[in-house]
Chains A and B, each alone.
Chain A
Amino acid sequence: MSPTISCTSVYKIFGDNAQKLLSENKGKVDAAKFQEAGCIVGVNDASFDVNKGEMLVVMGLSGSGKSTLLRCISRLTEATAGKILVDGEDICLMNNKQLIELRREKMGMVFQNFALLPHKTVLENIAFPLQVKGVTTDNSIQKALEMVELVGLKGRENYFPRELSGGQQQRVGIARSLAVEPDIWFLDEPFSALDPLIRKEMQDEFLRLQSVLNKTIMFVTHDFDEALRLADRIAIMKDGIIEQLDKPDNIVLNPATDYVKRFTEDVPREKVLKIESIMDGVDPNASSDFAISKNEIIETVAEKILNSKEIIKVTDENSNIVGSINPSKVIKVLFGG
């Protein structure tokens, strides 16, 4: 199955003679050299795929080019070079009409500062993408009401954005982006403007939604913990370059560069790693009367394992025994050494 989004050597370079510089250097972009020539490198040679139903989290600090990359793929900015395929079609070659069509049918986006229309109520904001598409008022309001229910804002349909808290506003933003039932969902730091407690709540809510909806997601954040919590795979960006793209546990276990290592160092392993990553092979001596799934996060089952003091069987999704785990391994993860 071909990936839903596929990027090949995507560049975004800001500046008047970006195109010329890029072709002169044959795609080898040195940020410092380009800056001297008056260009700023936003995205530097990004190549990756996002598969259907997968959640790719793009993580980076401010100025790392993560938002720019997202905007290239939604074509809110034009990529300077490269190929961006969405369902096999190169969006960089689309004309304005096709682009509008694509956004109306396939894409939804959530913004950091909510970007709600201040003159429209909750319901109208959510119905807006449907209305610009030409859906009748009755039908769009009907659909918007469903969305209100989905994001848990029932009873506030006729509120204006200014009358809502930040978390509620972002729920409206989420509902709006989902109103056209897009296949692809872009989220640009959706929870960064929220309080820590609300952020946690919204992350849970987001995971719940995703388990129901199963969209193809690109999620941008500057928060490494958030990335670990949500991602199927994480792309870590620095100065426009993707430093590492891998599953969360692999990134924590095997950081590819020193830069990535600085993020992973302080991450409590037991909160990220799954049993799978520390289990041994199938052990005939495993005598426990219970088994645990290889997909469990270590922290959640640590107490159970340590209490049993025996070697424990590990199973896969189909309850076949695929390995074993020794409590000493868990102790090592928990307390280091």
Chain B
Amino acid sequence: MDKNYLDTVRNSKPTQFGILLVLFFALYHLVPHNDGNYFWRLPSLLKGIPLAINNVIFSALYDWFPLKVWDPIFEMYEEKAAFREFTKAVSQGLLFLITFVRELLLGGDKIIDVFVNDAWLKENDWLSWPALPWTAGAVGAFILGYQLNGFRLGLLGGIGAVYIAIFGNWVPSIQTLSFVLITTPICFVLGLSFGIWGYLDKKVETALQPVLNVMQTMPQFAYLVPIIALFGLGDHAGSIATIIIATPPMIRNTILGLKRISPEVVEAGLMSGCTKSQLLFKVLIPTARRDILNGVNTVIMQCLAMVVIASFVGAKGLGLNLKIALNSLKIGKAAEAGLCIVIIAVILDRFTKAWANKPVDYFENLTLFQRHRSLIIFATAILVFSIIAFIANGYFDKINYLYIIPIEKGLTIAHYIDAGVDWVWDTFFYTLNTFNKFLLTQVLGPMKKAYLGMPVISTFTLAMGVAYIVGGLRTGLIVGGMLLFIALSEYWDRALITMYMATFAVLMASLNGIIVGSIFSQTERGSRFILSVCDFFETFPSFVYLIPVIFLFNITDTSVLIAAIIYATVPATRYTVWGLKSVPLSLHEAGTMSGVSRMQRWTNIEIPIAFPTIMLGVNQTVVFSLQMVILGALIGTEDLGQIIFGALSRTKDGAGVALTLGVFVSLIAISVDVIVRKWAEDRKKALGLL
């Protein structure tokens, strides 16, 4: 009898989870809530870490490896830290490149200034590169799109550009574009190189994995303060922050693409007599082309998602305008800037996708003119429109509308949007407010209290217990170790608030995603439709989601959570559709012949088979929710995000605090990831799907 009982516990996971829950609640209620008790809260032994990190950064900047550098102004050698010189060189290089592209498109004399004497430049007013008229830019976008995938894509590019121009956002948009145009190639080169290195050397790949995990799960804000400390403020700092965030997916895509190449293709290359470099450049990389170019697409999307955040460290463009508009609560203006970011994102997304999938015709037998037709038309168009714009200079007296439309002269629908928001606000104020109040007092408040009232011992029991049941001792210890790091800092309570918000968002988003995904994937057309809706929403930079909710729900946890839920529903839906679509046709037929109803099909066939995939989607919602919850600090929340954001104005240990807390957030995400991934893999194995 006894032995039987033990066997049940050993073999039945539900029983184990049941016991774990009982243990959790027992501890929850039994452990006294007082500060001296280590079961309640651990002592902040790791309090010194942020300062230590700061000291490392500052000594790296000012003390390590002093070099003698010639100072041309004081005409003497000066001791300067090598690292500092390095970061300076990187900053200047990046800034030069961004300015170069920017001036190429928008005109100016900064680049010319680099090459000629200051005084001489001032005396000669004509020494300034002219801006590209927006008309020429729009035609250029059309031709490029047409060349890539025909008339419709051309139209998308052209109309997008025209819209941006006549709404007066041409200059900030081009500023943002120039930022993307420089940052993307850098991410591409870095990502491709590391990806190839990781593919060629198993050890490198193993070492890269955890680094990439942290880089991708760390809130973007956390990078900003250290970057300011190291590189100063400006477009280049924004670019560096973006590079850190956008390179990991490029690396992953490269490794994935290279690994997917069938071994036979590699062998075929070898038997054709390829040398190592021929194999790499003529066989491996071209064969993985599609995955690599999809990586480029992801990089561009990440760049655009970062423009607002990059503006915190001095990047100019739409992001900055959006931030300023939001700060002064001008919803209409913010929405217009946001819309421009979305337009640029959609255009670049479609363009790069078309480029990735464009077959190359090597055997076109064309004349020189045909081959370069687009280029010639492009050049002609720019010339023609420039001339028109130049002539128009005489026609318009102050502002040349065919050249560049300044933001205050552009069309605007900002006041309509504002009026609309006001109307919604006036009409639904009571409803919204009641809902908001209800949610805050009845759901969120108690939930937050429950999380904060959780003794540290019960949190650990629950987290490590789940990890142990799912993945065994090793997984349990990994998760415990990661949480211990947070628990030993002084920010455990903040972390609990972050966890509470993330939990709520994940639960709601997963529920939404699974329901929406299941409904739409009932038909082939429905699933295609919902996947393209997901694509569309994913091109929105995360920041854009915050705009409407703030105005509906004020600056409360509700706003942040609703934004997080909407944002995180996208991956949950996508993975649900993927999972349901992966159910083999034969199983559907077997179900039909067994006479299942639609509901039975869903609960007995589709959901069980799709569940591992859906769980991977839930995994993504965790990352997405955390990102948005932290981003919520921008509009005021009181979790980890707030301190990370606050670190922007802390000089003494800002960089250290931001990095430490950023790592905390990513540890939370990685803990969940470790458990869910292991579980999904085991399920897949059990279902024979691997």
Could you give, for residues 350-361 of chain B, a 1 whenever the CB lies within 8 Å of some chain A CB and a 0 otherwise? 000000000111
Considering the complex, which residues of chain B in the window 249-270 have a beta carbon less than 8 Å from any beta carbon of chain A? 262, 264-265, 267-270
Interface residue stretch chosen among B70-78, B275-283, B387-395, B566-574: B275-283
Q: Is the CB of B359 within 8 A of A109?
A: no
Complex Cα gap A71–B270 (Å): 11
Q: Is the CB of A121 within 8 A of B362?
A: yes
Could you give, for residues 142-176 of chain A, a 1 whenever the CB lies within 8 Å of some chain B CB and a 0 otherwise? 00000000000000011010000000000001001
CB distance from A336 to the nearest CB of B (A): 42
What residues of chain A lie closer than 8 Å to B363, measured between beta carbons?
Answer: 121, 123, 157-158
Q: Is the CB of A108 within 8 A of B273?
A: no
Complex Cα gap A128–B528 (Å): 39
CB distance from A134 to the nearest CB of B (A): 10
With known contacts A115-B262, A119-B287, A103–B272 Cβ distance under 8 A: yes
What residues of chain B lie closer than 8 Å to A129, measured between beta carbons?
Answer: 272-273
B286 at the interface (CB under 8 A from A): yes
A250 at the interface (CB under 8 A from B): no
CB distance from B252 to the nearest CB of A (A): 21
A93 at the interface (CB under 8 A from B): no
B271 at the interface (CB under 8 A from A): yes
What residues of chain B lie closer than 8 Å to A157, measured between beta carbons?
Answer: 363
What residues of chain A lie closer than 8 Å to B278, measured between beta carbons?
Answer: 132
Q: Is the CB of A128 within 8 A of B360?
A: no
Complex Cα gap A152–B436 (Å): 73
Q: Is the CB of A119 within 8 A of B273?
A: no
A84 at the interface (CB under 8 A from B): no
Size category of the B interface is 20 to 34
A197 at the interface (CB under 8 A from B): no
CB distance from A180 to the nearest CB of B (A): 8
With known contacts A112-B264, A132-B282, A160-B359, A118–B287 Cβ distance under 8 A: yes
A104 at the interface (CB under 8 A from B): yes
* Cβ-defined partner of A115 (8 Å) among B265, B273, B289: B265
Chain A's closest residue to B279 (CB) is A132
What residues of chain A lie closer than 8 Å to B265, measured between beta carbons?
Answer: 115-117
Q: Is the CB of A176 within 8 A of B262?
A: no
B274 at the interface (CB under 8 A from A): yes
Q: Is the CB of B270 within 8 A of A115?
A: no
What residues of chain B lie closer than 8 Å to A119, measured between beta carbons?
Answer: 286-287, 289, 360
What residues of chain A lie closer than 8 Å to B274, measured between beta carbons?
Answer: 100, 132
With known contacts A104-B273, A117-B287, A119-B289, A124–B362 Cβ distance under 8 A: yes
Complex Cα gap A100–B363 (Å): 29
* Cβ-defined partner of B264 (8 Å) among A101, A104, A111, A124: A111
Could you give, for residues 64-97 of chain A, a 1 whenever the CB lies within 8 Å of some chain B CB and a 0 otherwise? 0000000100101000000000000000000000
With known contacts A121-B362, A132-B273, A132-B278, A109–B268 Cβ distance under 8 A: yes
With known contacts A121-B363, A132-B282, A158-B363, A115–B268 Cβ distance under 8 A: yes
Q: Is the CB of A111 within 8 A of B287?
A: no
Q: Give the residue among B264, B283, B359, B360 with the most A Cβ atoms within 10 A.
A: B264
Complex Cα gap A116–B283 (Å): 10
Complex Cα gap A113–B262 (Å): 9
* Cβ-defined partner of A176 (8 Å) among B272, B287, B360: B272
Complex Cα gap A158–B364 (Å): 10
A252 at the interface (CB under 8 A from B): no
CB distance from B637 to the nearest CB of A (A): 49
Could you give, for residues 546-585 of chain B, a 1 whenever the CB lies within 8 Å of some chain A CB and a 0 otherwise? 0000000000000000000000000000000000000000
What residues of chain A lie closer than 8 Å to B275, measured between beta carbons?
Answer: 100, 132
Complex Cα gap A133–B278 (Å): 10
Complex Cα gap A216–B414 (Å): 79
CB distance from B260 to the nearest CB of A (A): 11
What residues of chain B lie closer than 8 Å to A108, measured between beta carbons?
Answer: 271
Q: How many A-B residue pairs have CB under 8 A?
A: 73
A325 at the interface (CB under 8 A from B): no
Q: Is the CB of A76 within 8 A of B262?
A: no
Complex Cα gap A262–B359 (Å): 50
Complex Cα gap A124–B267 (Å): 17
Could you give, for residues 51-77 of chain B, a 1 whenever the CB lies within 8 Å of some chain A CB and a 0 otherwise? 000000000000000000000000000
Could you give, for residues 162-195 of chain A, a 1 whenever the CB lies within 8 Å of some chain B CB and a 0 otherwise? 0000000000010011001000001000000000
CB distance from B59 to the nearest CB of A (A): 44
CB distance from B631 to the nearest CB of A (A): 40
What residues of chain A lie closer than 8 Å to B361, measured between beta carbons?
Answer: 158
What residues of chain A lie closer than 8 Å to B271, measured between beta carbons?
Answer: 74, 76, 103, 107-109, 177, 186
Complex Cα gap A120–B262 (Å): 16
Complex Cα gap A71–B264 (Å): 11
What residues of chain B lie closer than 8 Å to A109, measured between beta carbons?
Answer: 267-268, 271
Complex Cα gap A160–B361 (Å): 10
Complex Cα gap A107–B268 (Å): 11
Chain A's closest residue to B264 (CB) is A115
* Cβ-defined partner of B273 (8 Å) among A112, A117, A133: A133
Complex Cα gap A109–B278 (Å): 18
CB distance from B407 to the nearest CB of A (A): 45
Complex Cα gap A76–B359 (Å): 31
CB distance from A121 to the nearest CB of B (A): 6
What residues of chain A lie closer than 8 Å to B289, measured between beta carbons?
Answer: 119
Q: Is the CB of B264 within 8 A of A117?
A: no
With known contacts A112-B264, A160-B359, A76–B270 Cβ distance under 8 A: yes
Complex Cα gap A128–B287 (Å): 14
What residues of chain A lie closer than 8 Å to B283, measured between beta carbons?
Answer: 117
CB distance from B265 to the nearest CB of A (A): 5
Q: Is the CB of A111 within 8 A of B286?
A: no
CB distance from B200 to the nearest CB of A (A): 15
What residues of chain A lie closer than 8 Å to B360, measured between beta carbons?
Answer: 119
* Cβ-defined partner of A100 (8 Å) among B267, B268, B273, B359: B273
Q: Give the residue among B273, B278, B361 with the most A Cβ atoms within 10 A.
A: B273
CB distance from B363 to the nearest CB of A (A): 5
Chain A's closest residue to B275 (CB) is A100
Complex Cα gap A100–B272 (Å): 8
Chain A's closest residue to B265 (CB) is A115
Q: Is the CB of B273 within 8 A of A76?
A: no
Complex Cα gap A71–B287 (Å): 22
Q: Is the CB of A76 within 8 A of B267?
A: yes
Complex Cα gap A112–B265 (Å): 11
What residues of chain A lie closer than 8 Å to B270, measured between beta carbons?
Answer: 76, 103
Complex Cα gap A158–B363 (Å): 7
Complex Cα gap A74–B271 (Å): 8
Complex Cα gap A144–B275 (Å): 21
What residues of chain A lie closer than 8 Å to B273, measured between beta carbons?
Answer: 100-101, 103-104, 129, 132-133, 180
CB distance from A115 to the nearest CB of B (A): 4
Complex Cα gap A116–B269 (Å): 9
CB distance from A176 to the nearest CB of B (A): 7
What residues of chain B lie closer than 8 Å to A115, measured between beta carbons?
Answer: 262, 264-265, 267-268
Complex Cα gap A157–B363 (Å): 10
What residues of chain B lie closer than 8 Å to A103, measured between beta carbons?
Answer: 270-273
Chain B's closest residue to A114 (CB) is B264
Complex Cα gap A177–B270 (Å): 12
Considering the complex, which residues of chain B in the window 574-629 have a beta carbon less than 8 Å from any beta carbon of chain A? none
Complex Cα gap A103–B270 (Å): 8
Complex Cα gap A251–B72 (Å): 90
Q: Give the residue among A108, A115, A180 with the most B Cβ atoms within 10 A.
A: A115
Complex Cα gap A223–B264 (Å): 20
Chain A's closest residue to B271 (CB) is A109
Complex A-B, nearest 4 residue pairs according to Cβ-Cβ distance, in ascending order: A104-B273, A115-B264, A129-B272, A115-B268
| Besides A76-B270, A132-B275, A158-B361, 15 new A-B residue pairs in contact (Cβ under 8 A), listed by A number | A100-B273, A108-B271, A111-B264, A114-B264, A115-B267, A116-B265, A117-B269, A117-B283, A117-B287, A119-B287, A119-B289, A121-B363, A128-B282, A132-B273, A158-B363
Q: List 8 A-B contacts (CB under 8 A).
A: A71-B267, A76-B270, A109-B268, A119-B286, A132-B278, A132-B282, A133-B273, A173-B268
Chain B residues in contact with chain A, CB under 8 A?
262, 264-265, 267-275, 278, 282-283, 286-287, 289, 359-363
